[in-house]
Amino acid sequence: MSLFDKFEKTASLYKELLGAGRDPFGVSMEEMKGPMRAIVKGKEIVLAGTNNYLGLTFEDDAINAAKRALEEQGTGTTGSRFANGTYAGHREIESALAEFLGFSNCVVFSTGYQANLGAIAALVQPPNDVILLDADSHACLYDGCQLSGAQTIRFHHNSPESLDKRLSRLDPSITGKLVCIEGMYSMFGDVAPVKEFVEVAHKHGAYLYLDEAHSFGVYGENGRGVAEAEGLMDQVDFYSGTFSKSLCSIGGFVASNHPELEYLRFSSRPYMFTASPSPANIAAATATLKHISADASLRERLWSNAKRIHSAFQQLGFDYCAPVGPVIAVRLPDKQTAFLAWNFLMDNGVYVNLAIPPGTPNAASILRLSVSAAHTTKDLDIIVQAYTALAENFQSALVTTPA
């Protein structure tokens, strides 16, 4: 038996899809023309699947800060945070994030993925700890559970009642309990009932770990996420986020009011054994954080754009995965239709994310659009026109529901 035999099923599906059009999982942005435009195969495309929610990838202060960091500190740290890879900038952004979020402690990791991987694996260990995980959680949360080696119990997506039942059934010998959820789920764009989850978790003596990767900068009066929108910042035990969405860089963090969070610095393997974020990435994220803190108009523009697209799609009869929000996912009947629809949108000048089983909740096949504050009126017009043409050309195959 070959090491590669296990890939045959997925490879066959991949080849089948490629036979009907371009590769949706290997799109190359040949030239960037701004935060929401790129050249793909010689054609200018509107980008509507980038997670660049606030559109700050070309923000002048962030670019200039990154340039200065390159000139003054070099291209990389060549070491982990645990060794030689902690520069003044890493400490500065940890303090800035903690202050922005209202937490006393913050630890920065090399990516958002590693922040969740490293924090969960260090916080929860067998045999006396257990993790309770929302079934629709991101891969990094699942991988953090696996790396920890602790018992992991899934509960129904966005169901505090399901969590309550599972916590109630735990053996009394379990001493450490960590509940992991997300603020806004990246695939469908649905939002967690964080208040109810906090109440259930704390009732059973569990800690709540909230991943706000996609909701940071987007939800809440100050952009602190779903927890802020629900008035719960002081009740969240662990708050994780990433630099690669609204902060437009590379890196991740975990914040908390528990002073023991600092123990991650000598107990989290991804923190201890991965090279730290480059000075330029840290400088760009720090400058972007200042911009987000000072300019609420970005969120206002984002939500205005999201409402316009959502309203237009609603009139077209698309089947939504969630209410209006920065992620607008349209469900299609099967992966073949979704693939053809994705190609159709590319032909009409719009890039979105194609997501198909097995990488989606409930085996759904979707076109995932992420709205940005940087989308212009012309960009929105092109997006709506492309989806209007899609509805007309795929009318018999599209899944529709009442508005």
More reliable by pLDDT, 85 or 8:
85
For residue 36, being part of any structural domain is answered with yes
- Residue written as tokens 């922005």? 100
Element holding 118 (H helix, E strand): helix 112-123
Stretch 93-113: mean pLDDT: 98
Residue 254: strand pairing partners = 107, 240
Both 41 and 82 in a single domain? no
Residue 261 — very low, low, confident or very high, per pLDDT cuts 50/70/90? very high
How much is the average pLDDT of 130-159?
97
Cβ contact 117:252 at 8 Å: no
Structural domain includes residue 342: yes
Residues 135 and 112 in one domain: yes
pLDDT at 22 over 90: no
CATH of the domain at 325: 3.90.1150.10
Q: Do the domain assignments include residue 38?
A: yes
pLDDT at 103: 98
- 359-388 as b/e, with b when 16 or more CB fall inside 10 Å? ebbeebbbbbbbbbbbbeeebbebbbebbe
Q: Cα(359)–Cα(55) distance, rounded to whole angstroms? A: 27
Q: Among residues 365, 311, 320, 376, which one has the least CA distance to residue 340?
A: 365
**pLDDT tens, residue by residue, 327-379:** 999 999 998 899 999 999 999 999 999 999 888 888 999 999 999 999 999 99
Number of domains the chain contains: 2
pLDDT for 233 beyond 50: yes
The reply to whether 402 falls in a domain is no
| DSSP E strand stretches across 221-379 | 238-242, 252-256, 327-332, 350-351, 353-355, 365-370
Average pLDDT, the chain: 95
Residue 403 lies in a domain: no
Given a cut of 90, whether residue 143 has pLDDT beyond it is yes
Same domain, 236 and 167: yes
pLDDT surpasses 80 at 20: no
The Cα diameter of the chain in Å comes to 63
Residue 250 gets which letter from DSSP? S
Residue 339 CA to residue 17 CA, distance in Å, equals: 7
Q: Is 15 helix (H, G, I), strand (E, B) or coil?
A: helix
CB-CB contact of 399 with 338 (8 Å): no
| φ, ψ at 236 (rounded to 5°) | -85, 130
Looking at the fold, whether 97 and 45 belong to one and the same domain comes out as no
Is the backbone peptide bond immediately before 358 cis, with ω within 30 degrees of 0? yes
Residue 216 forms part of a structural domain? yes
- Kindly report, residue by residue over 265-322, the tens digit of the pLDDT: 999 999 999 999 999 999 999 999 999 999 999 999 999 999 999 999 999 999 999 9
For residue 368, the enclosing domain spans 5-58+296-393
Q: What is the pLDDT of residue 402?
A: 39
Indicate whether 140 and 268 sit together in one domain. Answer: yes
Kindly list the distances between the CA atom of residue 73 and the CA atoms of 79, 139, 198, 278, 281, in Å, as whole numbers in the listed order.
14, 33, 42, 9, 12
Do 91 and 104 sit in the same domain of this protein?
yes
Model confidence pLDDT, tens digit, residues 317-337: 999 999 999 999 999 999 889
The two beta strands, 43-47 and 105-109, are unpaired
| Domain closes at, from 272, 294, 316 | 294
Q: Could you tell me if 283 and 305 lie in one domain?
A: no
Does residue 400 form part of some domain?
A: no
103 and 201 assigned to the same domain = yes
Q: Which of 153, 152, 154, 151 is nearest to 126 (CA)?
A: 151
Whether residues 302 and 289 share a domain: the answer is no
Whole-angstrom distance, CA of residue 112 vs CA of residue 118: 10
Claim to verify: residue 286 and residue 313 sit in the same structural domain: no
- 304 and 281 share a domain? no
**For residues 170-196, average pLDDT:** 96
Confidence band for 397, pLDDT divided at 50, 70 and 90: low
Q: How far apart are CA 142 and CA 239, in angstroms?
A: 17
pLDDT at position 15, please?
Answer: 80
d(CA 38, CA 28): 9
pTM, two decimals, is: 0.95
Please tell me the predicted confidence (pLDDT) of residue 401: 46
Among 277, 294, 311, where does a domain finish? 294
pLDDT tens figures, 27-63: 999 999 999 999 999 999 999 999 999 999 999 999 9
The DSSP bridge partners found for residue 369 are 328
Residue 395: the pLDDT is 77
Return the bridge partners of 275, or none. Answer: 80
Instruction: Please give the share of the chain, as a percent, with pLDDT higher than 70.
Output: 98
Residue 39 and residue 28 share a domain? yes
Query: What CATH code is carried by the domain that includes residue 81?
Result: 3.40.640.10
Task: Please give the pLDDT value at position 349.
Answer: 98
Residue 192 has pLDDT above 60, yes or no: yes
Q: Is residue 401 part of a domain?
A: no
Q: Which of 262, 294, 326 is the last residue of a domain?
A: 294
Rounded Cα distance between 354 and 24, Å, is 7
Average pLDDT over residues 221-247: 98
Say whether 277 sits in a helix, a strand or coil. coil
